[in-house]
Structure 1
Amino acid sequence: MSTASLERPSHARLGFHGRAELCVVTSDVLHGNPLGDPHVRELPIYLPADHGERPLPLICVLAGFTGRGHKYVEPHPWYASVVQRYDRALAAGEVEPAILVMPDCFTRYGGSQYVDSSATGAYATHVVHELLPLVEEHFNVLPGARGVCGKSSGGFGSLHLAMHFPGVFRAAASISGDCDFELCFGHEFLAAARGLARSGQTPAEFLAGFAQHPNLDGDGHAIINVLAMAACYSPDPTSELGFRLPFDLEYVERDRKVWERWCAFDPLVACEQHTEALRALELLHLECGLADEFNLQWGLRRLVRRLKTLGVPHRHVEHPGGHRGIDDRFEVVLPTLARVLGGHL
């Protein structure tokens, strides 16, 4: 029997027409995780002003790599957060109401990709089988009206959870989510190998130093990105670090067996195995900027082409932006999900 729990604060965060709470979740499945990351975590939740009067849809908002759910709710003197923008639009009567839940699935490597891995922990299980039931236990959620969305790694996570947990979510949206791993990770392998070669460090030595002094300058981001993805996509309890790289560090040539394990997570491949789960969604929203620096615009076009072949209904949007500085895209995605989940198609 699960002993996971959620504690609500006695006060709300300031600056909202509705209510933003920073709850505390004690997780069973993250307890004793391989990296020693906390199993007691803060969970930001946004509640519309009338949340107690009627059941509302629930939208799970997933942060990108190196980010946590907190980033979407934190107020800033110079600009409005994602939740503040949604709150203001809701107060103006411009959007439909929904409860927003923003999980903290950060790891010491920078992120979990919202997957279950023996090298990082059971983060997919944590979100789907712990957080969602706890939120629905404590708040007035419209039965079955769950959606999931996110940007970058959060967009990948949205697709992964929608595909691997059929029936849990009625709608899913990916904003610049990882797709076509060859395009978005191929150049990262080269940069990671270059950075390690220049520093003369092994992956183990890099991670030991990074734990003391995190530095994403130069090739640092590529190195931690590749190591984190390997921990998520190619765990191996028998290896030194608990995972294997999909290439060797001397020649940067692919280890085909390990690379195949990565590709099984790639939405471009995974959609073939999880077609029915995708078809069952009431809304599948996919978008990317035409100036995306990680080449995700091309990966998404390839995914869309494949979804058309598979007969999966979807919405495909392209915009002029890049990969960074596009939180305004949530101003489109969140209202769209809330409208669908609330029954206003």
Structure 2
Amino acid sequence: MLPWSAELAGRLEEHIVSSELLRDNPLKDPHERPLLVYVPPGYDDEPGRRYPTVYVITGFTGHVGIWRNRVPYRQPFPETADAVFASGEAPPAIVVFVDAWTAHGGSQYVDSPGTGRYHSYICDEIVPWVDGHYRTLDAPEHRAISGKSSGGYGAMITPMLRPDLFGALATHAGDALFEYCYLPEFPKCVRHLRAYGGDIWRWWEDFNGRASFTKPEDMDLLNVLGMAVCYSARPDGKPELPFDTVTGVLREDVWERWLAWDPVRMVPEYAEAMRSQRAIWIDGGTRDEWFLDVGAQAFRQALLDAGVNENAIHFELFDAAHGGIDYRYPLALGWLCRNIAP
């Protein structure tokens, strides 16, 4: 395995997609976005053949360029995905790497007055664009979505909201059971904000005026601000934090708006959509710093309580923390492809 490159049996194609839904978004982020599309080996040999698709979305602070990152002794996901198809481990599929980055770190793949219409961008622009440019099987039973962390969160909620588009998902350590993954971070942020007079925008100005992540509070405050701008932005786009930044007292009305987006709590409302899914992969590390293994267990149980067929669910906990679990992605990819193949 060379540390700098690898030959693909398939092909990774680069595109720029102009989004009308993201044009003039609240954060003035680009409305033209990169899109990577992987086509499997043999795609050009059978011009009449159509393929299932798997959409891949990134975690918080991620953008489509991270899929090219190489870490020591591991291959990037496009290469490990290619190996899944080249080996015949799974039926061939088109894999779509979507960019939904924002200036505050991410979109959580929701429509928000604070960030823009990223859920609609994926569902109403990217999916039709891919179907129009590639030989896809244009039906939910042949379309899946996959991601890790915030990407895993997006993979959980997108099929709930749009079962007419997505019929399978894989969530790796996806954000769930918010009282465990988010709430414990709030008192840390209160402590951090003492240095900024309780004003998160003073921190934001400081953060943007220096090298990022050079202060210990940066990731904690970026995360809570990034979530607030997605889950609890006012109609004018200004995010409201779910706690008082000086006393730490929970602002119950704002916190309830966050909880309304918790996948565990969303399942009962969207039970029919989840029962329609052909395949649901759920996993997480047993040492996850945000207790997303616990969230994974709760999500699985919520699905079972909603009447989802247990045979449609692959659930697995494994020895790991939150990071370094990219080796799980091709495992889920192969399993998804076997379940969404025609």
Report Cα offsets for 1:117-172 as digits up to 9, x if no partner.
Answer: 00000000000100010011001112211100100000000111111112211111
Question: For residue 259 of structure 1, what is the aligned residue in structure 2?
Answer: 255
Report Cα offsets for 1:259-307 as digits up to 9, x if no partner.
Answer: 1110010011111111110000011111111111111111222222222
Deviation at 1:309, TM superposition (A): 1.8
With structure 1 as the length reference, what TM-score do the two structures score? 0.91
Q: 1:308 pairs with 296, 304, 308, which one? A: 304
Q: In the alignment, is residue 79 of structure 1 matched against residue 74 of structure 2?
A: yes
Contact preservation (8 Å) 1:170, 1:282: yes
Does the residue aligned with 2:54 lie in a helix, a strand or coil?
strand
Question: For residue 209 of structure 1, what is the aligned residue in structure 2?
Answer: 206
Q: 1:119 pairs with 93, 114, 117, which one? A: 114
Question: For residue 293 of structure 1, what is the aligned residue in structure 2?
Answer: 289
Identity of aligned residues (%): 35
Contact preservation (8 Å) 2:38, 2:94: yes
Report Cα offsets for 1:291-333 as digits up to 9, x if no partner.
Answer: 1111111122222222222212332111111110000001210
Q: 2:58 pairs with 63, 66, 72, which one? A: 63
Question: For residue 102 of structure 1, what is the aligned residue in structure 2?
Answer: 97
Deviation at 1:340, TM superposition (A): 0.9
Contact preservation (8 Å) 1:44, 1:73: no
Contact preservation (8 Å) 1:30, 1:39: yes
Contact preservation (8 Å) 1:30, 1:38: yes
Question: For residue 243 of structure 1, what is the aligned residue in structure 2?
Answer: 239
Does the residue aligned with 1:258 lie in a helix, a strand or coil?
helix
Deviation at 1:79, TM superposition (A): 3.0
Contact preservation (8 Å) 1:193, 1:223: no
Deviation at 1:199, TM superposition (A): 4.1
Question: For residue 223 of structure 1, what is the aligned residue in structure 2?
Answer: 221
Residues in 1 aligned to 2:217 and 2:323: alpha-carbon distance in whole angstroms: 18
Q: 1:213 is aligned with what amino acid?
A: R
Deviation at 1:115, TM superposition (A): 0.4
Does the residue aligned with 1:141 lie in a helix, a strand or coil?
coil
Contact preservation (8 Å) 1:154, 1:177: yes
Residues in 1 aligned to 2:7 and 2:210: alpha-carbon distance in whole angstroms: 34
Question: For residue 6 of structure 1, what is the aligned residue in structure 2?
Answer: none
Does the residue aligned with 1:158 lie in a helix, a strand or coil?
helix
Residues in 1 aligned to 2:73 and 2:299: alpha-carbon distance in whole angstroms: 37
Residues in 1 aligned to 2:314 and 2:279: alpha-carbon distance in whole angstroms: 8
With structure 2 as the length reference, what TM-score do the two structures score? 0.92
Does the residue aligned with 1:272 lie in a helix, a strand or coil?
coil
Q: 1:156 pairs with 136, 141, 153, which one? A: 153
Question: For residue 184 of structure 2, what is the aligned residue in structure 1?
Answer: 187
Residues in 2 aligned to 1:117 and 1:193: alpha-carbon distance in whole angstroms: 25
Alignment of 1:4-153 (within 5 A): 15-52=7-44, 53=46, 54-74=49-69, 79-144=74-139, 145-153=142-150
Distance of aligned partners of 1:77 and 1:223 in 2 relative to their CA distance in 1, 3 Å threshold: closer
Contact preservation (8 Å) 1:90, 1:97: yes
Residues in 2 aligned to 1:152 and 1:189: alpha-carbon distance in whole angstroms: 19
Query: Which runs of no fewer than 5 residues in structure 1 stay unpaired?
Result: 1-12
Does the residue aligned with 1:210 lie in a helix, a strand or coil?
helix
Q: 1:164 is aligned with what amino acid?
A: L
Does the residue aligned with 1:102 lie in a helix, a strand or coil?
strand
Q: 1:297 is aligned with what amino acid?
A: D
Question: For residue 176 of structure 1, what is the aligned residue in structure 2?
Answer: 173
Deviation at 1:28, TM superposition (A): 0.3
Does the residue aligned with 1:325 lie in a helix, a strand or coil?
coil
Contact preservation (8 Å) 1:57, 1:341: yes
Q: 1:173 is aligned with what amino acid?
A: A
Report Cα offsets for 1:16-52 as digits up to 9, x if no partner.
Answer: 2211112111110000000000001111111112224
Residues in 1 aligned to 2:90 and 2:216: alpha-carbon distance in whole angstroms: 42
Contact preservation (8 Å) 2:33, 2:99: yes
Task: Name whichever of 38-47 and 196-205 sits farther off.
Answer: 196-205
Contact preservation (8 Å) 1:61, 1:69: no
Contact preservation (8 Å) 1:23, 1:43: yes
In the comparison of the two structures, how many residue pairs are matched?
329
Contact preservation (8 Å) 1:21, 1:45: yes
Residues in 2 aligned to 1:248 and 1:76: alpha-carbon distance in whole angstroms: 40
Q: 1:245 is aligned with what amino acid?
A: L
Distance of aligned partners of 1:92 and 1:213 in 2 relative to their CA distance in 1, 3 Å threshold: same
Contact preservation (8 Å) 1:75, 1:84: no
Question: For residue 319 of structure 1, what is the aligned residue in structure 2?
Answer: 318
Question: For residue 334 of structure 2, what is the aligned residue in structure 1?
Answer: 335
